Structure 1
Amino acid sequence: MSQSLIIFEPSGKVQYQSNAKIYPFNEFISHLINETQITLENNLTTQTINQKRFYCFHKEETYVALYFDAITTIDGEKVKQTLSGIYKTYKKFEEEENLADEKFKQLVDLQFMNLMKLKRTEAVEEGERELPTAVGAGNNSGTSTPVKPSSAKKPPAKKLRKWDDSGEMVEVADSQALDYSVGDSNGDLSLMPEMKVNNEAAFTKEHDIVLVNELNEILNASRDGDDDEDDDDDEEKERKDGGRSSGFFSKISSYLGGSINLDEVSKKFNEQLMSKNIAPSTAKTIIDKIKSRLSGKKVTMAIYKQTLTDELTKVLTPNVSTDLLYEIKRNKTGRPYVISVVGVNGVGKSTNLAKLAYWLLQNNINVLICACDTFRSGAVEQLQVHVNNLNRLNADLPNKSKIDIFQKGYGGGDHVVATAKQAIEHAKSSQFDVVLIDTAGRTHSNAKLMAPLKKFGDAADPDKIIMVGEALVGTDSVEQAINFNSAFGNKRSLDFFIISKVDTVGDLVGTMINMVMATKVPILFVGTGQTYTDIKRLSVKQVVEMLMK
């Protein structure tokens, strides 16, 4: 497993490296120079290159960058906290002109290794790494009391499913133990005793690595009068100041009816957008457009609000047809219209696929649901329950449409492709108008799990690919949308979004802006509840009103 960290300057000089292979950073740095990397939030950027996940925290003339092998579910905030802490450590020792001190290396390595240990821990929970074999299996050293074997007959080994290195799903025997109590921790950060930064003792040492108290002092030091304080930290303090939280528009009421200070009002509206779950980088892009458009003009609050309203409306207004019924009914290819539904784990793909199926049934369209989530236990049975429910509801509709399920059980990547192809052929021979293909949920930041989507897309060749995004996810929606949009290769991309769980977020609907601006892909439907009829066409006007509220 590869992971590496460097601290460098824009000149290219590397000030520090930990476990470093410098050459993988070269391509990422070119993305930084060309500004083609993904900006997660202020001062934090990311990119996936050659199945390595890069993150970079930058401030002034200092960059702290790391990569690991893309198999991670650590969110950007945890990475930013670590890289920001390493940056502060670096600045502290740089000011003292003491970067050569061994203590500096120890403090940086502690923070880096704690993040890697968190990565390993989450990888174990995700089942993304091999479990160690049972301790002492086949090797009795004579130093411990032998355990008498049980005379009870053991049941046959249970077959488990896991993703292999190529991104395919394979079956493996459950012949490995979950005992981590003994083992060699050398080189394995996940087996090291947990090292916490706290104030419970004057100092703590682990393999002579670090003085914890000193790290506390650096990370928590008062920065009064320090010009290097993050601007976003100041803004965060202002947002949390109870004495100033009486409402956004009350802060700028004095401008109503007269000319405004463009910079000051823009800053307030930027805060307004971020408070609605719009990612900081996305909010900044929108506000910069408004400032550029209004610069040099006499601007009132009414003009500013209308310009911002128009810009948000423009973002959400589709630039392609979203009349899916028209597309389906004009299909004269002799092949059923194929729609594939993709998304992150737990966002509601199967549920929204069933809602979409009921909408099609209401419009007198024959629907075949194809069960291609062949990894998650119970996924096929879940779809069967939906089909049974929809058949009962369909019996009450004043039309002759039909719905059925096509499934071939559970299996690996080749099984998924074969199932999709067979479902399309079956739909053609049985006169189904539409094939709705359910797919396995996958972590957007895991390159090995995302890779099979291209193979699936090439084989099934769906007419439309719809991603289900979750309104609750907030700023991470930018990275989710970008990664899924690019997962199908250069020739294919997402066609539509369905935004689920909109009924749970009130007016915090910024996820819609995040996903559309990141990909230029329009929103087809929004999910608004738990029943099959709780799916609605996007009302751009209503969403914009929520954002401006």
Structure 2
Amino acid sequence: MLEQLLIFTRGGLILWSCKELSNALKGSPIDTLIRSCLLEERSGAASYNYDAPGAAYSLKWTFHNDLGLVFVAVYQRILHLLYVDDLLAAVKREFSQVYDPTRTVYRDFDEIFKQLKIEAEARAEDLKKSNPVVVNGQRKQIGSKGDGSEGKKGGAGGGGGAGLKNDGDGKKRDNKSENNRFVANNNNGSNLKSNGGNNVSVNGKENDSVNNGAFDVNRLQKKVRNKGGNGKKTDNVVSKAEPKKVIKKNRVWDEKPPETKLDFTDHVDVDGDADKDRKVDFFAKEQGESMMDKDEILSSDSEDEEEDDDDDDSGKNSKPDAKKKGWFSSMFQSIAGKANLEKSDLEPALKALKDRLMTKNVAEEIAEKLCESVAASLEGKKLASFTRISSTVQTAMEEALVRILTPRRSIDILRDVHAAKEQRKPYVVVFVGVNGVGKSTNLAKVAYWLLEHDVKVMMAACDTFRSGAVEQLRTHARRLEIPIFEKGYEKDPAVVAKEAIQEASRNGSDVVLVDTAGRMQDNEPLMRALSKLIYLNNPDLVLFVGEALVGNDAVDQLSKFNQKLADLSTSPTPRLIDGILLTKFDTIDDKVGAALSMVYISGAPVMFVGCGQSYTDLKKLNVKSIVKTLLK
């Protein structure tokens, strides 16, 4: 049965809840829905599943964007109620007629809801009775569309190619009889025709079942080719198709040395001494201030480009989607305003935005969900005068991206380090990730940044799996002049990390940076070892180190890392990934979509961005810059 139905504003004010459904919900499904779904731009999803001790709920919702109302229904997941969507639509329609912004109590809506619920249940029962035949465990709607869909696999008569097929003129014919007719014609050998050696025809009509395995196509084609001659013509054709042998030309070396240098890199020579400038630049990078403490200046180039694009909509550079309705209709609509936006009005602009996000390396699944969420937030909303649909969709998407990339909770490492120092315990950070993303290098960058703030740092070499990992970390520790705890190879990394934390407590280190072995998300033995390390040592921060180069892989990596850490943990409240460190950010130009994909799939913020090879090349993520780059 239905557990609860709630109506509240986008500001969080509850206007009405069903008194009849006064069942005490276990846990807080509504609050979780708001935090994890609606505020995280996942409102385009069909439903949300909430698990609590002793209960499993499904939540469905709909919006009235023009009035700013949210309608949420909660029911037991095991019941699969068919009338919930219909009931929500009816409640939305009826409540919008009695809604008054000055009212906060709607007790008279109880009787209306009872009647709506009875009617929705009756319609669901009628639909269930009139519902169709069940074939192979799937319900199929009875009816003919004239597109040959009845002959598909899993449908009625779809097995083994013996179902009905379309003949192109709306008539159906039997594949089995067609195959028999083809074989009969084949015995005569007089009705076969070949079209380029690819399609075989019967009596001038193309046979759709050539590839069904009823006969050998190669043998038939061979007969057709040999019918016109003795096979010599075919041999000549084959010999002509052979590629010509390419002969490589010999390199000609000049006796005189080249006048230009072999170094094609651009160097700015200020004082006339390029070598001196490069040396100064090198030392500035090695001994300068970390980029984490510098504020990035956001240029207005992207804004100018967007304005130029808006001005050119009527010209040759305008997108095809913007031309569909014509110049006059779109201009009149922008001046007069539109009563209510419909999904069909939003689709062209959303499709263009989805394609743009995917070109910026955003995973396709994430781009699709974002567009669905923006459509859900705009559908039914009134378009203001002198406003175009494309600019409205662009503004809504920009706001959604800012909400996603802005951290839900503030993680200030320096503040947390000082708080742990007052409790006389070290602050522990564990670096995890797949192979070859740069965990050890970026761990050293974080250590350099912490040293600049007078924090005592110690490294823990817990990558006991990869050869050379301990030596690599030892080199960084020697250059930064900080202690390192190591036990060599083939040791349990969880035990090594525990002993490193104990050593840090004895020698007065403020922070322990734990380096772990790179592992693929599907490697269960290594993922089990990582889960044990996190459970045994309970670190203050678990940082996932990922590449900015990945697109769809980012979703798979992060989701499986979190899933494995949850499944393999023995704790009832397993630790998941707390933050993200993006590496190789200087190599991607404007393909910054991996940051959005990772934050969306995990809910963890991007805390550090690696943008070079020196210790100072570590930055904060500029949310406004990323959003403008994604939408540029």
TM-score bracket relative to the smaller structure: 0.5 to 0.7
Q: TM-score, normalised by structure 1?
A: 0.53
**Distance in structure 2 (CA, Å) of the matches to 1:342 and 1:62:** 48
* Structure 1 residue corresponding to 2:581, chosen from 478, 482, 498: 498
**Distance in structure 2 (CA, Å) of the matches to 1:463 and 1:283:** 32
> Structure 2 vs 1, CA of residues 379 and 510 (structure 1 numbering), >3 Å: closer, same or farther?
same
How far off is 1:321 after superposition?
Answer: 0.9
1:406 maps onto 2:495 in alignment: no
Deviations 1:95-149 (A, max 9, x none): 9845399xxxxxxxxxxxxxxxxxxxxxxxxxxxxxxxxxxxxxxxxxxxxxxxx
Q: Mean alpha-carbon deviation: is it higher for 531-540 or for 479-488?
A: 479-488
* Structure 2 residue corresponding to 1:510, chosen from 593, 602, 626: 593
**Distance in structure 2 (CA, Å) of the matches to 1:97 and 1:422:** 65
> Structure 2 vs 1, CA of residues 247 and 432 (structure 1 numbering), >3 Å: closer, same or farther?
farther
How far off is 1:486 after superposition?
Answer: 3.2
> Structure 2 vs 1, CA of residues 404 and 213 (structure 1 numbering), >3 Å: closer, same or farther?
farther
The 8 Å contact of residues 453 and 487 in structure 1, kept in 2 or not, is answered as no
> Structure 2 vs 1, CA of residues 335 and 264 (structure 1 numbering), >3 Å: closer, same or farther?
same
How far off is 1:434 after superposition?
Answer: 0.2
Q: Mean alpha-carbon deviation: is it higher for 254-263 or for 363-372?
A: 254-263
> Structure 2 vs 1, CA of residues 390 and 278 (structure 1 numbering), >3 Å: closer, same or farther?
same
Q: What one-letter code is carried by the residue in structure 2 that aligns with 1:305?
A: Q
> Structure 2 vs 1, CA of residues 99 and 452 (structure 1 numbering), >3 Å: closer, same or farther?
farther
Q: Percent identity?
A: 39
Partner of 2:432: 342
Partner of 1:283: 367
**Distance in structure 2 (CA, Å) of the matches to 1:512 and 1:422:** 34
**Distance in structure 1 (CA, Å) of the matches to 2:548 and 2:216:** 41
How far off is 1:446 after superposition?
Answer: 2.5
Deviations 1:56-86 (A, max 9, x none): xxxxx999xxxxxxxxxxxxxxxxxxxxxxx
**Distance in structure 2 (CA, Å) of the matches to 1:92 and 1:499:** 45
Q: What one-letter code is carried by the residue in structure 1 that aligns with 2:499?
A: Q
**Distance in structure 2 (CA, Å) of the matches to 1:295 and 1:279:** 24
How far off is 1:213 after superposition?
Answer: 9.2
> Structure 2 vs 1, CA of residues 92 and 288 (structure 1 numbering), >3 Å: closer, same or farther?
closer
The 8 Å contact of residues 248 and 268 in structure 1, kept in 2 or not, is answered as no
Partner of 1:545: 628
Partner of 1:118: none
Deviations 1:409-432 (A, max 9, x none): 0014xx212211111111111111
Alignment of 1:158-173 (within 5 A): none
Alignment of 1:246-285 (within 5 A): 250-252=319-321, 259=334, 261-285=345-369
The 8 Å contact of residues 487 and 493 in structure 1, kept in 2 or not, is answered as no
SS class of match (2:429) = strand
How far off is 1:271 after superposition?
Answer: 1.2
Q: What one-letter code is carried by the residue in structure 2 that aligns with 1:349?
A: K
Q: What one-letter code is carried by the residue in structure 2 that aligns with 1:291?
A: A
Q: TM-score, normalised by structure 2?
A: 0.47
Structure 1 unaligned residues grouped into runs of 5+: 1-32, 37-60, 64-89, 102-198, 200-209, 216-245, 392-402
Greater Rg, structure 1 or structure 2? 2
Q: What one-letter code is carried by the residue in structure 1 that aligns with 2:486?
A: Q
> Structure 2 vs 1, CA of residues 97 and 494 (structure 1 numbering), >3 Å: closer, same or farther?
closer
How far off is 1:459 after superposition?
Answer: 1.2
Q: What one-letter code is carried by the residue in structure 1 that aligns with 2:612?
A: G
CA RMSD of aligned residues (A): 3.6
* Structure 2 residue corresponding to 1:482, chosen from 559, 577, 581: 559
* Structure 2 residue corresponding to 1:369, chosen from 453, 459, 462: 459
**Distance in structure 2 (CA, Å) of the matches to 1:368 and 1:538:** 26
**Distance in structure 1 (CA, Å) of the matches to 2:512 and 2:214:** 61
Partner of 1:50: none
The 8 Å contact of residues 275 and 508 in structure 1, kept in 2 or not, is answered as yes
Q: What one-letter code is carried by the residue in structure 1 that aligns with 2:563?
A: S
Partner of 2:97: none
Q: What one-letter code is carried by the residue in structure 2 that aligns with 1:321?
A: S
Partner of 2:160: 99
User: What is the aligned residue count?
Assistant: 322
> Structure 2 vs 1, CA of residues 422 and 212 (structure 1 numbering), >3 Å: closer, same or farther?
farther
**Distance in structure 1 (CA, Å) of the matches to 2:533 and 2:619:** 29
Structure 2 unaligned residues grouped into runs of 5+: 1-45, 50-133, 137-150, 163-196, 198-212, 219-314, 335-340, 567-572
Partner of 1:328: 417
**Distance in structure 2 (CA, Å) of the matches to 1:253 and 1:358:** 51
> Structure 2 vs 1, CA of residues 62 and 330 (structure 1 numbering), >3 Å: closer, same or farther?
farther
SS class of match (2:461) = strand
> Structure 2 vs 1, CA of residues 248 and 379 (structure 1 numbering), >3 Å: closer, same or farther?
farther
The 8 Å contact of residues 135 and 156 in structure 2, kept in 1 or not, is answered as no
SS class of match (1:472) = coil
The 8 Å contact of residues 321 and 348 in structure 2, kept in 1 or not, is answered as no
SS class of match (1:488) = helix
**Distance in structure 2 (CA, Å) of the matches to 1:248 and 1:94:** 47
SS class of match (1:334) = coil
1:355 maps onto 2:445 in alignment: yes
